[in-house]
Structures are given as structure tokens and as C-alpha cells.
Structure 1
Amino acid sequence: MMSQVAALEALPVEATGPRPFIRWDENPKVRLGSLGAEPPLDDLVAQLQQSVHGFAEKVMQPIGRNLDRLSAEEVIAPGSQLWAFREAYAELGITMEALATFPPNLMPDIFAILFEELGWGDAGLAISAGVDLLPHYMAAKFGNEFVFKTYPEELIGCWGITEPDHGSDSLDANGAIFHPQGTYGRPNCVAKISDGKVIISGQKSAWVSNGPIAELAILYCAAETKAGIDSSRGAVVIVPLKSLGVSKGKPLEKMGQRALPQGEIFFDNVELDIDHLIVAPEDYKKGVYAIHSEANALMGGVFTGCARAAYEHAFAYAHERKQGGVPIIRHQDVAKRLFHMARKVELSRAITRRVTTFNMLNDMPALQAAMFSKVTATQHALEVASDAVQMFGGNGVTREYPVEKIFRDARSSLIEDGCNEILSIKGGTLMVDPDLLKPTA
């Protein structure tokens, strides 16, 4: 009778699934793939990942490095490589219409992998591509067909919410994080809604991503109705930025994500038909919750990719650079540091994929879960990029090597889409379970 060991050895490998222990190498070791400990992807998702990765490597990385060395004015000037990036990205065909053709069960993986690969290519350009989708994406979510019929998806999009006097508090329409004696104060931008019109006055801050080049904005602002101005009952309006009364400030000079144009937008009695109103004041809290859930998940994907880029540069350098007669990866502290860098990338990817799956397949997304993704991925991106700079030593702080730029890009992410400290407080308020609270005496 054939022994159990002999029977296992006689079976073809594909018939047994995972290799039986007896078939392991004498010194077992597994090399992880480009997406780490990732189970096999659906064929359609795998094709998209390979396509976007190639685009990120051949187009985004070199263009991002070149734009990083330009002034903010030069980045948006005619002939800038920013426009070559936008043209090449458009050829990928990543539009709302195209995304709608994918099976719903694949959308979480597609979303997470798409933005991880874009973030791996260049964080600033990835954010630029992401906010492009928001006007049409949110119009679709709120059932506004007028926007799709009137404005083509090829228009460059932006999201206008923060103001000169209001940053992360703009994302807290219900005032959950305010001091007991605090108030929102005077809004810098107001939409007056009356007689079938929306009239917008005021400005949005210099942090509007794509602001200097955008053609279509999804604008979040305070609303003025017959009851007066109320920032907690604001309005969400789609604004074509060629409208009479719209003007823009200079593009912002900043530390990181320099390939991402950001700048002020001004509104001087901009008058639009009521069809442009996609969220009325009574539903404003829904509007903030909805876009914030999507934006924070997007940030999780982008900065998972950013962290991965920093890790991969450090990993390669640790094999090339020699100190003490051996590649530095042979030094225990370097190997230990690389382990923790890889662990953080894996954690960021896992929580982003998990949250995206939950939020896309649930009846309603959990904003606090999206915040888990954003805060985790951005914090890890900064830590991994900082460790990469340290591993490169003096080379790491020079512009000759890529990790210096990635570190600057990652640092900005802790403030984008709500600073992490405020998100943590806001997320904590969303976790309160009223059913478990004991009534006070």
C-alpha cells in the first residue's frame, strides 16, 4: 500500500491547492507580489491594475518629478507637462460612464487598486485625477441628471468646501466637534436660494484642489433662504466656472504635492438656474456626509500607494547601498525598519480595501470607517516616507533621490480632506451608540 507521503508526492501540484508541507523547500521563503500579501485578483481587476501601474510608472512618475521643480504658475502654464498628464489620463477612459459598466461586486477592488496605483505614481496628480470625478459622481449619487446632460465629463472638476476662515470645521455640518461656547462664525461663501435661482457670493480658500485649472466645481457653502443664513443647512451646487462672476486667484506655492494645482475661487453674484442645486439646505448634512465618505476612502487608496512607493525605493536602495562591506539590508536595524515599513503599507492597503468594500456594499457608508482609512494611510505614509529618507542617509534629503519628494507629498496628506486630529474627534462622535447611553438623573 502506498504511504501517505508517497501519495502526496504523486499528486500533481494543482490538484492539491496549497503545496503540502513535504513539498516545501528546505529553507522555506515566499516572495510577496507588488501588492503584498494579496490573494489572486479577478482577471478584469488584474488587467486594470497592470494598465494603471504601467501608466503610473511611465507617465505619472517622470511628469510628477518634473512638475515638482516648477513654480505653481509654471505648473499650470500652457505647454506644461501637467497637460500631457491630463491628456494621457483621459486616454485611460476612467469616467463615471466607464466605471458604471463594471460589475458592482468588483467596484471596491477597482476603486482601491486604481487610487493606490495612481498614488504610487504621484500623490498630487492622483488627487487631481480623483477630484475630477467628484462633480459628476456626486450628481449621480443624488440623482441629478441635469448635470450629466449639460456638462461633459471631460471638464476638469474640483471640490470647493474650505474657506479662508473655515478649514476642517467645514466638514462638521452638525457641529459635533465644536466647543460648547463656540459657533461656526461668519461663512465666507453663501448661496442665496430663491425664485428658481441660486446666487453665489464669496470665496473658497487657496486649498481648492484643481482650483486654478478647474472648469466645473461641486461647491459646498452656507445657504441663505427666507429663514436667513445657516451654515449647518448649506447648499451643494454644481458651478460651471466660466459663469459670469467667477474669478480665480494665483495658484498656491506649497511644500508638497506641487503637481496638484490649488488656489482660490471667487464668486461675485454668480447666478445659476435651480437645476444646478444638487443638495438643498434640508439635506445638507447628507451631502457633507456623502462626499466626505468618498473623499476619505480615496485618500486611503492614494496614500497607501504613496507609502508603497517610498517603501519600494528604500527596499531597492537597501540592496544596492553597501556599508561595512555588505548591502545595508544585511544590517539588522535596516532589515527591522523595512519590515515595519512593509507592515504599515500592508495595514493601510488592508483597511482601505476593507472599508471600501463595506461602504460600497452597505446601504449607507460609514463615515467613521472612511476616516479609519484616511487617518491610517496618511499617518503611515508619512512614517514610511520618513523612514525611507533616514535609510537613504544624506542622499535622502537631496532632490536627486525620490524619497525627499515623497516625504513632502505625504506630509501634506495629514491636513488634506480634514486634518487627522479633527477627523479623529469627529469619528469618535460618530461612534457614540445612543442605545447604550444611560439617562442622566
Structure 2
Amino acid sequence: MNQPLSVKSLDDYAVGTPRPFSLWDASPRVKLGPLGTEPALSDIVGSLQTTMHAFAKKVMRPIGRHLDRLSAQEVVDKGSQLWEFRRAYAELGISVETLVTFPPEDMPAIFTILFEELGWGDAGLSISAGVDLLPHYMAAKFGNDFVAKTYPETLVGCWGITEPDHGSDSLDANGAIFHQGGNYGRPNCVARISDGKVTIRGQKSAWVSNGPIAELCILYCAAETGAGVDPRRGAVIVVPLDAPGVSKGKPLEKMGQRALPQGEIFFDDVELDIDHLLVAPEDYKKGVYAIHTEANALMGAAFTGVARAAYEHAFAYAHERKQGGVPIIRHQDVAKRLFHMARKVELSRAITRRIVTFNMTNEMPALQAAMFAKVTATQHAFEVASDAIQMFGGNGVALEYPVEKIFRDARSSLIEDGCNEILSIKGGALLADPDLLPPTI
């Protein structure tokens, strides 16, 4: 005969171990963790998450709120708390050199959790920290060790690609978004490549993140060769911004992400040795594809954090604020709204982690997948922040409360690193399978 199963007590099950149905609570309820339904993290990733969350809470949030109330010039001035943030962040030791020492299997979680926590702390400061890495990070991706050997990672980094006459189309070297009768037109910045030198003339737009404070730029621009100027056969160049001929415009005043300095960079016949050329014209499309994949993944992670911040503020407020004699969480519409806010945070985190894992382990990263993450997370951040304002009522639009700032920060993300409409068009073009299309005549 079969022996009856022994019934264990709750004490026999470790925390986090699934319990048998018989030991469920009479009225089952699970309290989600700080990262929602995130499975248990490895020791390395868990330690990073704890450290970054404390940093985001204690350093980033108060500094971000303070900088949000300053003029753009005051943000970058000496003595600004922006520099206090940069010093504190540098002490964490997050650099390309240290990131490559982590186990490869942990890298997708490290990347996404790092930038989610930074985004949770402050959207603008998180983007500043992200673009800071790009000159060294992308040079390593391109297999070029010149940047690491020549320029220390302590230099403030930036990425210059958009121009006064060219926004998201600067990210479309394949021309997928153009009307069939359209063309790129005249580029605003051109690099002439000849005789072992690179000479740069022109400007990048006021949207260069970290531009006003940057010391090293990874520059994407049109190239002039023997065949003339072709923006689709451009060049990727690392430019020390103390080089003769480099100048900068005023820091940009803007609605959101005010802690992120942005501004124009001008190049007046800036001459550099050919070693500064990271990607030659024949490989320019690959260079754009590579950095755009990384940037969109970063945006997905950071704005998952922004959405989570808005949700957490609304969640706490719904338990504190009373209307009709009860906390507003007891009102059905508020509970329903919170549910959809939480759902969107979970979706953003899940799709970003899944895509980063795929792109870090596949033979080649999928740019359209990175666009899935960017478009999903930024759209959700905007929607969740808007719902948070609605839940706060009149307090939601008051400067005293945090959600109006989060809303302004999130709104900028729908345009940042390629506006979402353009990414959808280009991403759709990347989904097309040439093997299934009829032959062209």
C-alpha cells in the first residue's frame, strides 16, 4: 500500500522555497519585492543592486531635485552639486575596466539593474552616467584599444550624433525612414579623412548629453573622402574636447531631465591623427547599428527605473491619502490604476532584461529588439508618471511633490535616442525578411 505523505510544517521550508498547497495561507496574498517578480539574484548582482539602490536614494534623488530647480548654467558651474554626484559616482568604481571583470553570465542582469537603479534615482543623472561610458565602451566594442591606452576613463564622456538639421535621421544610416523622394540633405558636421589625418568642421546640436561638461566625445558625422561627402558613409571619431578648434555653446534650458547638461559642440578645422578614427566610412552603418543598440538598451533599463519610481510614489500615497473616510487604495479605480502601473513596470523590466540577455549572448545584437525595449519602457514611464499625477490629484502638479518632475523627465525620453515614432518605422524595416520578399525588378 502507498504510504501517506508526511505533512511538514511551515518551519521546514526555507524562505523563497515553494510551499505545497496545503500550507498556503487561508487567504493567499504575496507581497512583491522591491524589483517586483524578480527571481533571486546572484550574490554579485544582489550586492550591486543593494549598493546602487542606496546610492540612488541617498545621493541621486536629493541632488537631482536640487539641480532641477537651477538654471542650466548653474547646473554646470563649479560648486554645483552635479560635481558632488560625479565624485560620489566615481567612488563606486563603475567603469568599462571593471565591468569586463564580471562573469559573462551575470552581465545582462548587472547592466539592466545598474541602469534601472540609476533611473529610479534620477533620469537625467542616469543618462549622464550612461553616456559618460560611451567613448571607452564603444571603442572596446569596436576592438580598438587606442582610446583605453590614450585617454583615462576619468574624463567626462559624451556622444555627438544629432545636428541642427538632422535629429533621429542621424541614426538611420540605411535610409529606412526616408520618403522615397527624400534625401538626407546637407550634413552640419563633416570629417575629412586624408594623409593620415582627420579634420572635422561643423557642429553637433544642443542635444549632446554631457556636452557642456564633456572632455572626450565619441563623434558620429558625415565623411569626406575622394568620392565626396556621404552621410551614409560617415566616420566615428574619438575627439578630445580640449583639442584646438573645439568650442561649446551654452547649456540648454529644457523642460525635463534638467540635471543632465546638454549643449552644442563646434568643430573649427579640428585636426587629429588617424588613430582617433574608430570606424571608417565603409563600416559606418555597422558603427551606428552598434551604438544605437547599446543606447536603446540603456534607455530601456533607465526608464524602467523611472516608471518604478513613479509607481512607488503613487503606491505609498494611495495608502496615506484618505478620501471618503478611507485610504484611497480602497477605492476601486485607484486599485485598478495601480495594478496597470505595476503591470507596465513589470513588462518594461522583463522585456529589457530579455533583450539585453539576447543581445549579449547572440552572435550579433538585434537593433530592432533594443528598440522594443526603448519604446516600451519610455512609453510606459510616461504613462505611469501621468497616472501617478492623476492619483496625487492637485498635489501631483505641485512642485512640492516628486511626481511632476518624474513626468517631465519621462516626457523627454519619448524623443531621446531616437523619437519613438521613427524607431518604430526603422524597427519595422529591420523586421522585414529579404528571403520572403519577391525579387525586385
- For the aligned pair, the TM-score class normalised by the smaller chain equals over 0.9
Q: Secondary structure at the match of 2:287?
A: helix
Q: Secondary structure at the match of 1:250?
A: coil
Aligned match of 2:386: 386
Aligned match of 1:301: 301
What is the CA–CA distance in structure 2 between the aligned matches of 1:221 and 1:14, rounded to whole Å? 57
Aligned match of 2:363: 363
Write the letter of the residue equivalent to 2:129.
A
Per-residue CA distance 1:6-54 (angstroms, 9 max, x = gap) = 4345992249941011111111100000000010000100000000000
1:174 offset after TM fit, Å?
A: 1.0
Report whether the alignment pairs 1:162 with 2:162: yes
Per-residue CA distance 1:295-351 (angstroms, 9 max, x = gap) = 000000000000000000000000000000000000000000000000000000000
Aligned match of 2:340: 340
Per-residue CA distance 1:56-102 (angstroms, 9 max, x = gap) = 00000000000000000000001000000000000000000100110
What is the CA–CA distance in structure 2 between the aligned matches of 1:332 and 1:49, rounded to whole Å? 34
What is the CA–CA distance in structure 2 between the aligned matches of 1:181 and 1:132, rounded to whole Å? 38
What is the CA–CA distance in structure 1 between the aligned matches of 2:427 and 2:98, rounded to whole Å? 33
Aligned match of 1:423: 423
**Residue pair 1:359, 1:366 contacting (<8 A) in 2 also:** yes
Aligned match of 1:291: 291
Segments of structure 2 that go 5 or more residues without pairing to the other structure are: none
Q: 4+ residue stretches of structure 1 with deviation over 2 A?
A: 1-12, 14-17, 438-441
Q: Secondary structure at the match of 2:233?
A: strand
What is the CA–CA distance in structure 2 between the aligned matches of 1:184 and 1:318, rounded to whole Å? 50
Write the letter of the residue equivalent to 1:179.
H
Q: Secondary structure at the match of 1:243?
A: coil
Aligned match of 1:213: 213
Aligned match of 1:185: 185
Number of residue pairs matched by the alignment: 441
Report whether the alignment pairs 1:406 with 2:379: no
1:439 offset after TM fit, Å?
A: 3.2
Q: Secondary structure at the match of 2:264?
A: strand
Q: Secondary structure at the match of 1:7?
A: coil
**Residue pair 1:303, 1:381 contacting (<8 A) in 2 also:** yes
What is the CA–CA distance in structure 2 between the aligned matches of 1:39 and 1:303, rounded to whole Å? 20
Same amino acid, percent of matched pairs: 79
1:363 offset after TM fit, Å?
A: 1.1
Per-residue CA distance 1:397-433 (angstroms, 9 max, x = gap) = 0100000000000000000000000000000000000
**Residue pair 1:256, 1:410 contacting (<8 A) in 2 also:** yes
Report whether the alignment pairs 1:73 with 2:77: no
**Residue pair 1:223, 1:281 contacting (<8 A) in 2 also:** yes
Q: Secondary structure at the match of 2:350?
A: helix
What is the CA–CA distance in structure 2 between the aligned matches of 1:16 and 1:214, rounded to whole Å? 46
**Residue pair 1:60, 1:121 contacting (<8 A) in 2 also:** yes
After superposition, the Cα gap between the structure-2 partners of 1:390 and 1:228, relative to the gap in structure 1 and judged at 3 Å, is same
What is the CA–CA distance in structure 2 between the aligned matches of 1:5 and 1:389, rounded to whole Å? 53
What is the CA–CA distance in structure 2 between the aligned matches of 1:349 and 1:100, rounded to whole Å? 23
**Residue pair 1:8, 1:20 contacting (<8 A) in 2 also:** no
What is the CA–CA distance in structure 1 between the aligned matches of 2:73 and 2:296, rounded to whole Å? 28
Q: Secondary structure at the match of 2:237?
A: strand
**Residue pair 1:246, 1:268 contacting (<8 A) in 2 also:** yes
What is the CA–CA distance in structure 2 between the aligned matches of 1:216 and 1:275, rounded to whole Å? 15
Question: Cα RMSD between the aligned structures?
Answer: 1.4
Segments of structure 1 that go 5 or more residues without pairing to the other structure are: none
What is the CA–CA distance in structure 2 between the aligned matches of 1:211 and 1:67, rounded to whole Å? 17
Give runs of aligned pairs for residues 314-333 of structure 1, distance below 5 A: 314-333=314-333
Aligned match of 2:12: 12
What is the CA–CA distance in structure 1 between the aligned matches of 2:17 and 2:89, rounded to whole Å? 39
Give runs of aligned pairs for residues 5-404 of structure 1, distance below 5 A: 6-9=6-9, 12-14=12-14, 17-404=17-404
